[in-house]
Amino acid sequence: MKRAIYPGSFDPVTNGHMDIIVRSADIVDELVVGVLNNHAKNPLFSVDERVSMLKEITKDFPNVTIASFDGLLVDFMEEIQATLIIRGLRAVTDFEYELQIAQTNHIVNPKVETIFLTTSLNYSYLSSTIVKEIASYGGDISKFVPVQFVDRIYKKYKECEL
């Protein structure tokens, strides 16, 4: 049984993330989407909000679960007994960083392997950072994130302004 983790910040989850979740859930037996509780990054959504959004959007996928983690990814993988990491590659610019963390994780724990899925062309430009930039100026983000989260993202920026 292959249990994989798709780790990330998911602040917020985008259609690009969903593309990777759907495709990797089809490849592995169990997929855990791991939301990094990264205090340093000052996220727009709290870790609980990000977990809850991901739970909502993946509720119809029987082999997908959502969890948050702190600290090293390899330690969390040991805890949940996962050996595969899934990451999406959008462009060659992602590669250097991704190669570095994949190799580091493998050296720290040789049982850990990383599988890269190339992002679908429709989403190769997309990132949570771009979504946040557009939303912060009130631009249209409806093509970039699951439809049920569009208003939640705008609302978050309104709350921040208060």
| Shortest distance (Å) from residue 45 CB to ligand PNS | 13
The answer to the question of residue 77 lying near ligand PNS (CB under 6 A) is: no
Cβ contact 64:56 at 8 Å: no
The answer to the question of residue 36 lying near ligand PNS (CB under 6 A) is: yes
**Rounded Cα gap, residues 121 and 91, in angstroms:** 10
The answer to the question of residue 82 lying near ligand PNS (CB under 6 A) is: no
**Rounded Cα gap, residues 130 and 82, in angstroms:** 30
| Catalytic residue selected from 9, 24, 128, 132 | 128
Q: Is 36 helix (H, G, I), strand (E, B) or coil?
A: strand
Q: Give me 36's structure tokens.
A: 């990094």
Cβ contact 97:61 at 8 Å: no
CA nearest to 67, candidates 76, 3, 1: 76
Q: Give me 66's structure tokens.
A: 């959502």
Active site residue 128: yes
- Which of 97-105, 118-126, 136-144, 148-156 is the region at the interface with ligand PNS (rule: CB under 6 A)? 97-105
- Which of 2-10, 42-50, 112-120, 152-160 is the region at the interface with ligand PNS (rule: CB under 6 A)? 2-10
The answer to the question of residue 44 lying near ligand PNS (CB under 6 A) is: no
The answer to the question of residue 119 lying near ligand PNS (CB under 6 A) is: no
Q: Give me 120's structure tokens.
A: 């679908």
List active site positions. Answer: 17, 41, 90, 128
Residues forming the site for ligand PNS (CB under 6 A): 7-9, 36, 72-73, 101, 104-105
